[in-house]
Amino acid sequence: MKVFRRIMMGLAMLSIALGVWAFWIEPASLVDNEVSIAIHPWPQSCDDLQVAVIADLHVGSPHNGLSRLRELVDETNALKPDLILLAGDFVIQGVIGGEFAEPRDIAAELDRLQASLGVYAVMGNHDWWHGPQLILDAFAGTHIEFLEDASKELTQGDCRFWLAGVSDYWEGAHDIGKALADIPAEAPILAFTHNPDVFYDFPHRVSLTFAGHTHGGQVNLPLIGRPIVPSQYGERFAIGHIDEDGRQMFVTPGVGTSILPVRFRVPPEISLVTLKSMSR
pTM of the model: 0.95
pLDDT-based confidence at residue 280 (cuts at 50, 70, 90): very low
State phi, psi for 175 to the nearest 5 degrees.
Answer: -90, 90
> Which domains does the chain possess?
2-277 (3.60.21)
Q: Are strands 240-244 and 206-211 parallel, antiparallel or unpaired?
A: unpaired
Note the pLDDT of residue 272.
Answer: 98
pLDDT tens readout for residues 27-66: 889 999 999 999 999 999 999 999 999 999 999 999 999 9
Length of the chain counted residue by residue: 280
Please give the residue that has the higher pLDDT: either 82 or 23.
Answer: 82
Question: How many CB atoms are located within 10 Å of the residue 232 CB?
Answer: 11
pLDDT tens readout for residues 205-238: 999 999 999 999 999 999 999 999 999 999 999 9
Q: Is 137 helix (H, G, I), strand (E, B) or coil?
A: helix
Q: Is 216 helix (H, G, I), strand (E, B) or coil?
A: helix
Please give the residue that has the higher pLDDT: either 279 or 31.
Answer: 31
Least confident of 10-24, 166-180, 197-211: 10-24
Note the pLDDT of residue 14.
Answer: 45
What is the rounded CA–CA span in Å between residue 130 and residue 112?
A: 23
Please give the residue that has the higher pLDDT: either 9 or 87.
Answer: 87
pLDDT tens readout for residues 154-195: 999 999 999 999 999 999 999 999 999 999 999 999 999 999
What is the rounded CA–CA span in Å between residue 134 and residue 118?
A: 22
Share of the chain above pLDDT 90, in %: 85
Q: What share of residues in the chain are helix, strand, coil (percent, to 5)?
A: 30, 25, 45
